[in-house]
Amino acid sequence: MSPPKKVENALGKGLDALIRKRPPEEDKTEETRVKTIARKRQSKRLKESKKEKKEKLDVKVDLIRGVVLEVRKNPRISLWSAKSAAVLRFLKNTKPAFSISKEASLLIEEAVQQKYPEIWELFQEEDF
């Protein structure tokens, strides 16, 4: 059995310790270098992405405030749908106490919430 190899110590070698050549087993392979570069690029993209998201969030907050104020002043929307109007008017004439506005509001809210859930959540806590 041969004695274990002595690990070279850099203490006391000054500049030689800083510029010494690495043993072959410490050399990075091409694959490792590529992975390192890719990680650095991804990290940079993530940082840029976080910065962009923060800027977009600031814009969204201002936009949301503006929309909320506008809706509080005038919550009405106008729609053009002849078939929907016909169905709702038919129901108004055949069902006692049927409200076109209430029914249209419920239908639209369900559809909008289902189609745009992320945006819906932005206004979920608002008291209009």
* pLDDT tens string 30-83: 778 778 888 888 887 887 777 777 666 677 888 999 999 999 999 999 999 999
pLDDT at 46: 80
Question: How far apart, in whole angstroms, are the C-alpha atoms of residue 103 and residue 113?
Answer: 15
pLDDT at 17: 66
Query: What token pair was written down for 3?
Result: 């004695």
Indicate the average pLDDT of the chain: 83
Residue with tokens 């814009």: 59
Q: Which residue has the higher pLDDT, 106 or 14?
A: 106
Who's near 108: CB < 8 A, 6+ residues apart?
77, 79
Question: How far apart, in whole angstroms, are the C-alpha atoms of residue 60 and residue 122?
Answer: 10
Q: Is the dihedral of CA 92, 108, 122, 63 positive or negative?
A: negative
> What's the pTM value of the predicted model, to 2 decimals?
0.52
pLDDT at 34: 79
pLDDT at 24: 53
Q: Are 120 and 113 in contact (CB under 8 A)?
A: yes
Question: How far apart, in whole angstroms, are the C-alpha atoms of residue 91 and residue 98?
Answer: 7
